[in-house]
Amino acid sequence: MAPIIGITAGRIRESAQIVRICLIEKYIEAIQIAGGIPVILPVGISKKELHSIQNNFDGFLITGGGDIAIDRFNGEQNPKISDVDPVRDEFEIELARNAFRTDKPLFGICRGHQVINVAMGGSLITDISSQYTNAIKHDWYPEIPRNYEAHSIQVAEKSLLRNILSGADFQVNSLHHQAIKQIGANLVATAFAPDGIIEAVENPTHRFFLGIQWHPEWMLSTPAMVNIFKSFVSASENNHERN
């Protein structure tokens, strides 16, 4: 059977006070193109429940979304912080830590990239434009197409990401206003924007433990971006921990 990939979702509260679990369909499409079976993991799963179901999954994808609560990393308050969901933070941080402990394949995109860093004890810049000197524009949303190639990245040699992408220089989209500040334990930075912002982190000894700041699910017409998902699903396919 194809590998089963657990994909984290967010939640939104509508004007009528109806709470919806939400996930952009592009994540589902990307996993399916890569040969995986996507299963949505809603906000609210407890640590105990996560530990009881984790072996039913071959890999986990932590998706984009709102900002992480600053008390998770002793962050600096900023008026641009928005859409904080402490319950989602709790779940995804535990998911990342557990994946690290069990060598379960883990892929984080945008917020997911930042969750991985915070889970490993790192910190974040809570608003690039006001806290990072000589920053280029990273928050190309909401009026710009989500596949807009906003800036280049430079990928480090001898890294998992370099091996996946088969190259060092790529153009990527950019849909974030926060970024990694202090890198977490057991992580190395393996891609950078022209202004020095960290665009990827990974653990070099793990089966697949990768976070990237851009959104490759919106760039599926680019073979290198599809290959990130294929490599993740392939690593998950080779995971033999599931009962």
Question: Catalytic annotation on 138?
Answer: no
215 belongs to the catalytic site = yes
Q: Residues, the chain, total?
A: 243
- Annotated catalytic residue within 94, 113, 215, 241: 215
With a cut of 90, say whether residue 14 has pLDDT above it. Answer: no
Whether 243 shows a pLDDT value over 70: the answer reads: no
Q: Could you please state the CATH topology (level 3) that the domain comprising 4-237 is classified under.
A: Rossmann fold (3.40.50)
Angle, helix 111-119 to helix 86-102, in steps of 10 degrees: 70
Amino acid letter at 196? G
**How does pLDDT run across 68-116, given as a tens digit for each residue?**
999 999 999 999 999 999 999 999 999 999 999 999 999 999 999 999 9
Q: What is the pTM of this model?
A: 0.96
Mean pLDDT value of segment 195-214? 97
Distance in angstroms (rounded) separating the CA atoms of residues 141 and 147: 11
Domain boundaries, the chain: 4-237
Catalytic residue list contains 110: yes
